[in-house]
């Protein structure tokens, strides 16, 4: 039975509500404890109720929560300095979500296009991509289900298959109106897709040769999730624009659009803005997140735990006929099955008290907190092995 609630029905919610968390554990009101391998969809990378984040937030709440971007904000300037140094960028714009970070990136791309005297600048986007739910970001997204019902879509996107260098080269040889290329270094919602070796650097070269801005959507993959600070670093690629959100505030809403070179010069006073973006509370949270990630070397930890999880899953799942592929980087792991498997989520919840996610219909996606213990990772691999084996019968 569906409980009546005035909350709009945008999500098909599981019948559980959590009241408390600690690290990778969550508790419901009855006291049942769950292992969280979703992290609020790659948001709570430091786990729940992290003491350093809680202390920073409480102190900032007692000091100053919000002023306005009409004034200088010291914590915002500090955060911009930390992030640009980590990412090899020159400037930062702050907002409140991944979609907004991508909106900023796309506005930079259009300004760049017009600066290059392109009348209607186009942005190359990918099949299977996900960039958010605002009208422009859902138009850029490569998933018809996200777009259906919201036509007319925003114009100005050219779609190509993900991972296909030839398709990019074809656009380069046939179009003169491209301003930018937008892609996820690994696709998240699209099913944890790792691009073929050499793809990102080939994309970088084409961007250089044709004056396109390379925009990496690192909203899900950034901030140590894949075993590097940013996933594009696995392939030694430096984009012109990088978007971040999800784990940047460990649950406090904050997004960032970072840019370098000409891309960092596009916004001028009046070109873009956000009332809440980069307020003292959100920036304090993000600064505390970076501090913990650096002090505890969580990029390295994500790589190590990812290898452990991968081995644990391979041992338990690789021999099953229903398992098509096991892939990912660091603690962003996908198990592709040969059939739709959304039902596994409630099975894992009820039978194992483990939170997992299914994306793209048939891919189990695991995004555990980066602060997991090795015991928790082993527990996760065991539980998932059991759930999948039971489910296929």
Ligand X SMILES: *Cc1c(COP(=O)(O)O)cnc(C)c1O
Q: x/- string (CB under 6 A) for ligand X, residues 110-139? A: --------------------xxx-------
Please state the closest distance from residue 106 (CB atom) to ligand X, in A: 12
For this structure, is 28 an active site residue? Answer: no
Q: Which stretch binds ligand X (CB under 6 A): 14-22, 92-100, 109-117, 373-381?
A: 92-100
For this structure, is 311 an active site residue? Answer: no
* 3-class DSSP state of 138: helix
* Tokens (6 digits) for 8: 């709009």
The strand ranges marked E within 153-265 are: 157-160, 178-183, 213-217, 241-244, 255-259
Burial of 122 (0-12, 13-18, 19+ CB in 10 A): buried
- Site membership for ligand X, residue 97 (CB under 6 A): yes
Instruction: Name the active-site residue from 94, 130, 230, 310.
Output: 130
- Site membership for ligand X, residue 99 (CB under 6 A): yes
Give the Cα separation of 46 and 52 in Å (integer).
10
Please state the closest distance from residue 104 (CB atom) to ligand X, in A: 12
Give the Cα separation of 219 and 256 in Å (integer).
9
* Tokens (6 digits) for 179: 């301003």
- Site membership for ligand X, residue 230 (CB under 6 A): no
Q: x/- string (CB under 6 A) for ligand X, residues 209-228? A: --------x-xx--------
Please state the closest distance from residue 231 (CB atom) to ligand X, in A: 10
Residue 385 · residue 366 · CB < 8 Å: no
Please state the closest distance from residue 52 (CB atom) to ligand X, in A: 23
Q: x/- string (CB under 6 A) for ligand X, residues 174-193? A: ----------x---xx----
Alpha helices in the chain (DSSP H): 39-42, 51-63, 74-87, 98-115, 135-140, 144-147, 165-174, 199-210, 280-295, 298-317, 343-347, 374-392
Instruction: Name the active-site residue from 36, 94, 217, 240.
Output: 217
Which of 98, 156, 239, 328 is in the footprint of ligand X by CB under 6 A?
98
Give the Cα separation of 43 and 47 in Å (integer).
9
Q: Which residue is nearest to ligand X (CB)?
A: 98
For this structure, is 94 an active site residue? Answer: no
- Site membership for ligand X, residue 251 (CB under 6 A): no
What are the distances in angstroms from CA 261 to CA 219, 232, 253? 21, 18, 27
Please state the closest distance from residue 74 (CB atom) to ligand X, in A: 25
Question: Which residues does the annotation mark as catalytic?
Answer: 130, 217, 246
Which residues are at the interface with ligand X (CB under 6 A)? 97-99, 102, 130-132, 184, 188-189, 217, 219-220, 245-246
């Amino acid at each position: 039975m569906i409980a009546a609630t005035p909350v709009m029905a945008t999500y098909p919610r599981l019948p559980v509500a959590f009241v408390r968390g600690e690290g990778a554990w969550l508790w419901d009101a009855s006291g049942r404890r769950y292992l969280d391998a979703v992290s609020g969809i790659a948001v709570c990378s430091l786990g729940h109720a992290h003491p350093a984040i809680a202390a920073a937030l409480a102190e900032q709440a007692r000091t100053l929560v919000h002023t306005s971007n009409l004034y200088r904000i010291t914590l915002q300037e500090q955060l911009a300095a930390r992030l640009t140094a980590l990412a090899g960028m020159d400037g930062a714009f702050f907002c409140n979500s991944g979609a907004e970070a991508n909106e900023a990136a796309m506005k930079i791309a259009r300004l760049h296009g017009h600066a290059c005297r392109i009348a209607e600048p186009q942005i190359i986007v990918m099949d299977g991509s996900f960039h958010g739910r605002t009208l422009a970001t859902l138009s850029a997204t490569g998933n018809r289900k996200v777009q259906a019902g919201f036509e007319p879509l925003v114009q100005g996107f050219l779609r190509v298959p993900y991972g296909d260098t030839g398709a990019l080269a074809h656009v380069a040889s046939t179009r003169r109106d491209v301003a930018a290329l937008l892609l996820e270094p690994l696709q998240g919602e699209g099913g944890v897709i790792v691009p073929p070796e050499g793809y990102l650097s080939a994309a970088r070269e084409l961007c250089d040769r044709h004056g396109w801005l390379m925009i990496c959507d690192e909203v899900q993959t950034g901030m140590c999730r894949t075993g590097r600070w940013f996933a594009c670093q696995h392939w030694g690629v430096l984009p012109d624009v990088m978007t971040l959100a999800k784990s940047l505030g460990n649950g406090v809403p904050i997004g960032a659009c970072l840019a370098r070179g000409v891309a960092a010069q596009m916004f001028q006073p009046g070109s873009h803005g956000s009332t809440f973006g980069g307020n003292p509370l959100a920036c304090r949270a993000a600064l505390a997140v970076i501090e913990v990630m650096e002090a505890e070397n969580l990029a390295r930890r994500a790589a190590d735990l990812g290898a452990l999880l991968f081995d644990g899953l391979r041992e338990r799942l690789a021999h099953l006929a229903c398992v098509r592929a096991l892939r990912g980087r660091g603690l962003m792991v996908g198990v592709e099955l040969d059939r739709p498997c959304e039902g596994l989520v409630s099975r894992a919840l009820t039978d194992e008290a483990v939170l997992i996610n299914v994306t793209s219909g048939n891919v189990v996606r695991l995004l555990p907190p980066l602060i997991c213990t090795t015991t928790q990772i082993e527990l996760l691999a065991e539980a998932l092995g059991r759930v999948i084996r039971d489910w296929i019968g």
